[in-house]
Amino acid sequence: MQKQQQISLNIPLDFNQLIDIVRQLPPEEKLVLSEVLLEKQEVVIPEEHKTIVRQRIKASEQDPSRLLKWDDVKQNLKL
């Protein structure tokens, strides 16, 4: 059975201090922490953003020449 550690903190921390504390955790505890942080996160996309995407999709369907070819984009992104 895994031993549970209890931590009680009543000190002011800034975000960077919290990161420093997390970095000191053993890998197993970091994994558990990451799972806790990522669970049940609901991403809320504003309706305005959805509307913009729908408009862009419609415009692209009406005029496919607006679209860029992935190979061209990839070439332009190379540094």
| Entry pTM | 0.44
Structure tokens at 5: 């550690």
pLDDT band at 1 (very low <50, low <70, confident <90, very high): low
- Does residue 55 sit within a domain? yes
Domain of 72, in residue numbers: 47-77
User: What does the pLDDT look like over 13-48, one tens digit per residue?
Assistant: 899 999 999 999 999 999 999 999 888 778 889 999
Contact of 27 with 34, CB cutoff 8 Å: no
d(CA 43, CA 21): 27
Inside any domain, residue 7 = no
The verdict on residue 5 lying in a domain is no
The alpha carbon of residue 76 and the mean position of all alpha carbons in its chain are separated, in whole angstroms, by: 26
Q: Is the pLDDT of residue 59 over 90?
A: yes
